[in-house]
């Protein structure tokens, strides 16, 4: 069985590397020749178009920036639909609008192709070490068939419902992550402005109800002034745009998410869109005229 992997960016490249390490045969495609060269050096085969990937593979994975790119790769000129065979499976691991996932799945099903929407959480570090969380929507029988593939890239893959449910779950995840980071930022700025060591605050609260994966991941980075992207502000803006669009379509008010979206937009205007989303703290620091960092050792 050959797997096609389209999209070798910050997430897709390490994910495809882990598939190769697990023994899968890969055909890869990306706009970056250098990224393809790196994967070919690890044993992958290269392709020139999405159509060629589909012609050569039984399962095709896409890991792309957003809905328009996924739609273009599947339906566009020399797209996947031009080459895919009945009985094949398309797994879209991008984070896109759930209604787009449903639209594409209907089109593919007419051609005898099943689709899973399977966005991931964990950012680049977990993509590298193969411990991503995968949220999967689509036919349960197809999920079960693809579970070994997910296991090669993740520590958790959960079937959450019909097609589109994976991306709905990812949107819920992104709401919680965004609000967590904003809360962490407010708390650490407050402590710093009051003259309390933020590292001591972190150690004191991490084992209680305020403890979270977000706190464990982001508080040390903030105090080290490390805003190298595990997940860029620009990408979180993209996800929250999908959150807000979907919520408005469904008639669901989400005022807290809307507030964090404005914070992210402010940071983008300040030229920080490529920073890790932990840089939300820089918005609060700017307003409060403090900087959250570890105390200087004496």
Q: In whole angstroms, give the CA distance from residue 6 to residue 26.
A: 10
Number of C-beta neighbours around residue 1 at 10 A: 8
Determine how β-strand 89-92 pairs with β-strand 114-117: parallel
How many CA atoms are closer than 13 Å to the CA of 274, on its beta-carbon side?
A: 2
Region of residue 297 (phi > 0: left; psi between -120 and 50: alpha; otherwise: beta) = beta
Q: What backbone torsions phi and psi does residue 29 show, to the nearest 5 degrees?
A: -150, 135
| Catalytic (active site) residue 286 | no
d(CA 267, CA 235) in angstroms, rounded, equals 13
Choice among 13, 170, 193, 293 that is catalytic: 170
Count of beta carbons in the 10 Å neighbourhood of residue 213: 12
* Enzyme catalytic residues: 170
């Amino acid at each position: 069985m050959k797997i096609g992997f389209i999209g070798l960016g910050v997430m897709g490249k390490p994910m495809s590397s882990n598939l190769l390490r697990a023994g899968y045969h890969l055909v890869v495609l990306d706009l970056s020749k250098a990224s393809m060269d790196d994967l070919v050096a690890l044993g992958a085969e290269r392709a020139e178009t999405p159509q060629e990937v589909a012609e050569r593979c039984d399962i095709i994975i896409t890991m792309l920036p957003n809905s328009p790119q996924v739609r273009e790769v599947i339906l566009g000129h020399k797209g996947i639909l031009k080459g895919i065979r009945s009985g094949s499976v398309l797994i879209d691991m991008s984070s896109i609008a759930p209604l787009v996932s449903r639209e594409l799945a209907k089109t593919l099903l007419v051609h005898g192709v099943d689709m899973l929407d399977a966005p991931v959480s964990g950012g680049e570090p977990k993509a590298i070490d193969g411990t991503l969380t995968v949220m999967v929507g689509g036919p349960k029988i197809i999920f079960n068939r693809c579970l070994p593939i997910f296991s090669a890239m993740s520590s958790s893959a959960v079937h959450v419902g019909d097609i589109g449910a994976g991306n709905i779950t990812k949107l819920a995840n992104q709401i919680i992550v965004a609000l967590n980071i904003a809360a962490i930022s407010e708390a650490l700025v407050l402590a710093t402005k009051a003259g309390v060591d933020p590292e001591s605050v972190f150690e004191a609260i991490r084992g209680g109800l305020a403890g979270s994966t977000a706190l464990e991941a982001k508080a040390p980075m903030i105090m080290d002034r490390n805003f190298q992207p595990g997940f860029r502000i620009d990408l979180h803006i993209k996800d929250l745009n999908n959150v807000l669009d979907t919520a408005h379509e469904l008639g669901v008010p989400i005022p807290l998410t809307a507030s964090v979206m404005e914070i992210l937009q402010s940071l983008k205007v300040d030229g920080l869109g490529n920073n890790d989303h932990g840089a939300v703290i820089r918005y609060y620091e700017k307003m409060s005229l403090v900087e959250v960092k570890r105390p200087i050792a004496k």
